[in-house]
Structure 1
Amino acid sequence: MVETKKLKSREEIDANSKWKIEKIYENIQLWEEDFENLKKVTPEISKFEGKLNSAKDLLSYLKLEEEILRLGEKLSVYAHCRSDEDTTNTTFQSLKSKIDSFFTEMLSKMAFFTPEILSIPEDTLLKELDELPELKIYKTLIKDILKSKPHTLSKNEENIMASVSECLEAPGNIYSMLSNADITFPKIKDEHKKEVELTDKNYSVYISSKNRKVRKEAFKALFSTYEKYKNTFATSLTSSIKGFIFNSKMRKYNSSLESSLKPNDIPVEVYNKTVETINNNLSSLHRYVKIKKKLLKLDDIHMYDLYVPIIDTPNVHIEFEKAIKIVEEGLNPLGSEYLNIFNEGIKEGWIDIYENKGKRGGAYSSGSYDTMPYVLLNYNYKLNDVSTLAHEMGHSIHTYYSKKNQPYVYSNYTLFCAEVASTTNECLLLNHLINNEKDKNMKLYFINQQLEQIRTTVFRQVMFAEFEKLTHEKLEAGNALTSEDLCNIWHELNVKYFGEEMVVDSEIDMEWSRIPHFYSDFYVYQYATGYAAANSFAKKILAKEENALEKYIAFLKSGGSDYPINILKKAGVDMSTSTPMEDTIKRFNELLDMMENTIKD
């Protein structure tokens, strides 16, 4: 009889395997004392309202704002991390709830800052910035705010926009409740012909099943259920898009796409160029589908065959210490300084390694200006866990570099840059594993891993981005979009992206209804651009291009000191051109060649 492995409680986990969260606060009493200090100091920010046209008062405001935010973030990181260690611990849930609620109050007290800065004549404001040497550090921040002036409303109008924000968020909330709470799926039969209840969460298990009957049944069961609610989902999504359009019109943007990109100084052309470049290279994805069909020995390939692995996941057990060595070897091209920081993170207790009862699932990197960049893992000794370690440490070392080299005001990097460092680590690791693996099946597994990364992170996300663009443009032009319209757009995109080898089943037409990111306007394209930038960095570093590593480290040190396109361009990756995306397609084609050649050997 096989003994069931018992999940340990938090107390049973060895201290050396836990993050050293006590470096923030040794005990809850110290946290509570700092929370009381935060509550005392925050109201003082209000005394600066109406006084920001004085250089001295502006500097005092900015210093106090930093003090409040830094303390608030420190308290928040501790509360959230402790809460995630054991989600059943009500003490830590209470701390998290307290700081989350107070953060909303805190930010509302600072809400006067931007409108007041914009009410001051620009010449007067810039003169004030030159008056005090200490203010010069804030010049980029202030200039950034001034650039938003054409899109900032009067105080009364801003209050109206703030008051309707909850209404504009309603479609997303309705979608969340419908898809997460109200929908129930039918039962299906698993590989052992045992009846199991399908859920949106366990769908990924069954759609990747080696048994074709299982994945087909899961596919049909899932999407036929969504189809029953198609009109509700369509109304929810189109209402959300209309909210984005309303916001963009009120703020005098030319389109909802521009309103999403312009605040970070990302040209609309970057988005359009991304979609265009992928459209020009869809033959590579069509080739992938053809190869997959052949390797799976299928007479015809359907949408439900996309996620079944070509190569079974190797059944290997990798101790955490071994995982560290594998990642170190993969990241060796990043140089000794980077690897020293990586090892410092391991030794200093950045990482909470193993699963325990009540621990939050998944993985993340989290930290503030005054804490270590902590990493939550649920390490389970598999190859994917090794990749996750490389990914999350990429985020944390990016944070480490930013915080060490930037003042607080510019220490946070944007979402456009956020996934670049983590994905660069993954690209370097997979390149290393592919190039050094001798076992044929293992090599094929690693090749397929990177192919799937590019298929799902680049091709798939750009298809999503194209859907967003089409739906927003149609509604902006005054056209109605019914559930049938949305299904037709989705179907046509799938036909175009996957090519003539793929049987585009009618059930897939409802897939748009289960993508939560569509309720965050023009979000998904950044997965593709982030991967393309990371692939470019990895390619340059591995080719030992002149100053490539120095430029990459400079990128990690940049934080939010400039707009993301400028930061990447200085580091040698120009996202305003199609080159990074084209380089990613080249890598995809190289991997397809490798796969075919490895199979022949």
Structure 2
Amino acid sequence: MTTYQSRTDVPQHEKWDLTHIYQTQEAWQEDYQKVVSGIDTLKSYNDNINCAEQFYGFLNSQEELMQMYTKLYVFAMLQNDEDTRKSSSQTLLDQVQQLGVKISSATSFFMPYLLELEEETLTRYIEEVPALQYFEKDLFESYRYKTHVLTKEKEEVLSQLGDALASPKNTFNMMNNADIVFGDVTNEKGEKVPLTRGMFAKIMESGDRTKRKEAYKAYYKPYVQMKNTIASTLSSAVKNNVTLSKMRQYPSALEKALFGDNVPVSVYENLIEATKNNIAPLHRYMKVRKEKLGVDELRAYDLSAPLVKDVREDIPYDEAYDTMLESLQPLGDEYIAQLKAFKDAGVIDVRETPGKRSGAYNIGLYGVHPYVLLNHRDNLDSLFTLAHEMGHCMHSHYSSLYQPRISARYSIFVAEVASTVNEVLLINHLLKTTTDKKMKKHLLNHFIDQFKGTFFTQVMFAEFEKIVHEKAEKGESLNAEVFNGIYEKLFRTYNGDDLVFEEEVKYGWSRIPHFYRPFYVYKYATGYVSAIHIAERLLQGDNDTLEAYLKFLQSGCSEYPLDLLKATGVDLLSPEPVESAMNAFARLVDEFAESE
């Protein structure tokens, strides 16, 4: 694995290029000042929209301002994520976040104004100023929110509280990315060295059980030490969400979260129910894992350990990229050509460096191009992460290419489909092209573990979120002990009796950043089952599915998510996609258990 002690050591073609957004910090500051001035323009429309021209003037000014603000924000965020320790980057990001609160405050009057406007008047405005047709669909969609929008004065107060309401999430992110110090582990020379996230992932996949246990304990040490502080931030985030849901007259926080995508609560509840009803194959896999490892007790630090020994895991980045391209051939020549072009185009930030934000993500930037953050470790997991994030990247690219700005940003609900289709195509390619029995078995195991992490674990997280929000809605207390109890019970239910409980396991809730983005994780699971459905048809050479899928990638948020998926042949209102995915998982476990 290639490691770098400084960002300056990383080859230029393995770093993203932020000059594609702004050539200089001065150029950023110029746009920042333009947005500051533009806020006053937006404020001037308050109580001053009396005709179609003024109505259009506000909407057009707002969109131009938001386009500039998005560029400012993405630039500041990406620069901060390069090294979260730099105070200058933190200052820039804080500056632009505060600016966002001011924009929200300046525009908070509009939704109450719009919803007081008769639909007949809005229709007449659109007839008088044809340019308003660009905003027409979104404007009429807004009437769906009529019962959930407060008075103009209350909306302004809420918008001004935006920074304060984001405080739990921001506090956790700073702790988790910049301040956290893990315990020590023993290196190859027998020396004690501080554990890093990258090291942790690597060690947990090693065959040395003693080292895995040591790393596991060291990794959880700061989370256990800070359990009360982190519980306070999570409790505040949940309570904020519940309070806002009540203020906006939603029946529950869950229904507020699902409302924007027009997803019935039944989709969320059925996902959890169908998963728990079909949990037996996961429990069987735990038993198989215990047998294959040859341990008396299966422990939490055994769940990523290799079940097939002496398999080559070293996959350099360039080789990983080529393998990904080969695996995605079913998506067509145009898709592949664009992926090739992105490799050295300043789009991808590849390497882990000190202070860099952990994990991986893609963010689209309309009018520029997507940006992808990786922490590539030259192993099989990193190959899959690459394919996953480039799926997001291509979704952003196609949506920006084929949609106007207003409908280019796809819903999070469908976001995980494009990434997971790529992963499913990749694993099938690897299984098909690998002749080595040992490697094939290893890949099967990887697919099962990926399925477990992307589907079962996310459903477990989704149920955790549902339970803690329901407790908050009943006025019950939320603290470290309560979170521990809920998480422990769920962990046991999902993972079964063959896993001997490690004390640290119940603190799993304390390290999940997605919990600060309420009711997000279930979309990984729905996206996963949708992706399996689509990928299986692509692998069969179904041209109708390919055409429908590429159109899906180009659709942004032009339709509701469930309707976009239905056009590809996936109906999440029916139990079929989840049950089909569960059957696929059971077959994988059977095949792996019976393999030599």
TM-score, with length taken from structure 2 = 0.87
Cα distance, 1:367–1:461 mapped onto 2, change above 3 Å: closer
Determine whether 1:562 maps to 2:559: yes
Question: Once the two structures are superposed, what CA deviation does each residue of 1:135-154 show, in whole Å capped at 9, x if it has no partner?
Answer: 22312211222111101111
Q: Provide the rounded CA distance (Å) in 2 between the counterparts of 1:212 and 1:251.
A: 51
In the alignment, structure 1 segments of 5+ residues that lack a partner are: none
Matched position secondary structure for 1:126:
helix
Question: Once the two structures are superposed, what CA deviation does each residue of 1:377-410 show, in whole Å capped at 9, x if it has no partner?
Answer: 4555433343333222212211111111111111
Match of 1:290 in 2: 287
Report the Cα offset of residue 17 of structure 1. 4.8
Determine whether 1:252 maps to 2:249: yes
Matched position secondary structure for 2:385:
helix
Cα distance, 1:159–1:518 mapped onto 2, change above 3 Å: same
Equivalent runs, 1:509-588 vs 2, <5 Å: 509-545=506-542, 547-588=544-585
Cα distance, 1:488–1:396 mapped onto 2, change above 3 Å: closer
Structure 1 vs Structure 2 CA RMSD: 3.5
Question: Once the two structures are superposed, what CA deviation does each residue of 1:203-238 show, in whole Å capped at 9, x if it has no partner?
Answer: 555555533344445555666875666566555544
AA aligned opposite 1:576 = L
Match of 2:461 in 1: 464
AA aligned opposite 2:245 = S
Q: Provide the rounded CA distance (Å) in 2 between the counterparts of 1:121 and 1:104.
A: 29
Cα distance, 1:514–1:117 mapped onto 2, change above 3 Å: same
Tell me if the contact between 2:98 and 2:163 (Cα under 8 Å) persists in the aligned partners: no
Cα distance, 1:16–1:405 mapped onto 2, change above 3 Å: same
Matched position secondary structure for 1:301:
coil
Cα distance, 1:354–1:132 mapped onto 2, change above 3 Å: same
Matched position secondary structure for 2:438:
helix
1:155 corresponds to which of 112, 133, 152: 152
Determine whether 1:508 maps to 2:505: yes
Matched position secondary structure for 2:562:
helix
Tell me if the contact between 1:206 and 1:215 (Cα under 8 Å) persists in the aligned partners: yes
Determine whether 1:136 maps to 2:133: yes
Question: Once the two structures are superposed, what CA deviation does each residue of 1:27-50 show, in whole Å capped at 9, x if it has no partner?
Answer: 555555444444444432223222
Determine whether 1:430 maps to 2:427: yes
Matched position secondary structure for 1:375:
strand
Equivalent runs, 1:38-437 vs 2, <5 Å: 38-81=35-78, 99-162=96-159, 168-169=165-166, 171-172=168-169, 194-196=191-193, 204=201, 207-217=204-214, 219=216, 237-311=234-308, 314-315=311-312, 317-346=314-343, 348-353=345-350, 362-437=359-434
Tell me if the contact between 1:428 and 1:538 (Cα under 8 Å) persists in the aligned partners: yes
Q: Provide the rounded CA distance (Å) in 2 between the counterparts of 1:259 and 1:492.
A: 26
Q: Provide the rounded CA distance (Å) in 2 between the counterparts of 1:82 and 1:226.
A: 27
Cα distance, 1:486–1:80 mapped onto 2, change above 3 Å: closer
Q: Provide the rounded CA distance (Å) in 2 between the counterparts of 1:431 and 1:517.
A: 29
Report the Cα offset of residue 566 of structure 1. 1.8
Tell me if the contact between 1:49 and 1:112 (Cα under 8 Å) persists in the aligned partners: yes
Report the Cα offset of residue 370 of structure 1. 1.2
Report the Cα offset of residue 591 of structure 1. 2.1
Cα distance, 1:196–1:347 mapped onto 2, change above 3 Å: closer
Report the Cα offset of residue 281 of structure 1. 0.7
Q: Provide the rounded CA distance (Å) in 2 between the counterparts of 1:198 and 1:321.
A: 27
Equivalent runs, 1:417-496 vs 2, <5 Å: 417-480=414-477, 483-496=480-493
Q: Provide the rounded CA distance (Å) in 2 between the counterparts of 1:534 and 1:403.
A: 21
Q: Provide the rounded CA distance (Å) in 1 between the counterparts of 2:373 and 2:481.
A: 42
Report the Cα offset of residue 428 of structure 1. 0.8
TM-score, with length taken from structure 1 = 0.87
Q: Provide the rounded CA distance (Å) in 1 between the counterparts of 2:426 and 2:133.
A: 41
Q: Provide the rounded CA distance (Å) in 1 between the counterparts of 2:13 and 2:178.
A: 39
Tell me if the contact between 1:313 and 1:445 (Cα under 8 Å) persists in the aligned partners: no
Report the Cα offset of residue 588 of structure 1. 1.7
Tell me if the contact between 1:273 and 1:577 (Cα under 8 Å) persists in the aligned partners: no
Question: Once the two structures are superposed, what CA deviation does each residue of 1:398-442 show, in whole Å capped at 9, x if it has no partner?
Answer: 111111111111111111122221221111111111111112232
Report the Cα offset of residue 473 of structure 1. 2.4
Question: Once the two structures are superposed, what CA deviation does each residue of 1:469-488 show, in whole Å capped at 9, x if it has no partner?
Answer: 22322343454556554433
In the alignment, structure 2 segments of 5+ residues that lack a partner are: none
Q: Provide the rounded CA distance (Å) in 1 between the counterparts of 2:176 and 2:375.
A: 26
Cα distance, 1:91–1:391 mapped onto 2, change above 3 Å: same
Q: Provide the rounded CA distance (Å) in 2 between the counterparts of 1:352 and 1:199.
A: 19
Matched position secondary structure for 2:260:
helix
Tell me if the contact between 1:191 and 1:211 (Cα under 8 Å) persists in the aligned partners: no
Matched position secondary structure for 2:573:
coil
Tell me if the contact between 2:283 and 2:498 (Cα under 8 Å) persists in the aligned partners: yes
Cα distance, 1:290–1:15 mapped onto 2, change above 3 Å: closer
Cα distance, 1:164–1:201 mapped onto 2, change above 3 Å: farther
Tell me if the contact between 1:491 and 1:509 (Cα under 8 Å) persists in the aligned partners: yes
Report the Cα offset of residue 468 of structure 1. 2.0
Report the Cα offset of residue 530 of structure 1. 1.9
Matched position secondary structure for 1:547:
helix
Cα distance, 1:217–1:145 mapped onto 2, change above 3 Å: same
Tell me if the contact between 2:108 and 2:152 (Cα under 8 Å) persists in the aligned partners: no
Report the Cα offset of residue 572 of structure 1. 1.8
Tell me if the contact between 1:70 and 1:370 (Cα under 8 Å) persists in the aligned partners: no
Higher mean C-alpha displacement, 222-231 vs 153-162? 222-231
Q: Provide the rounded CA distance (Å) in 2 between the counterparts of 1:70 and 1:530.
A: 28
Number of residue-to-residue matches in the alignment: 596
Q: Provide the rounded CA distance (Å) in 1 between the counterparts of 2:210 and 2:344.
A: 48
Percent sequence identity over aligned pairs: 37
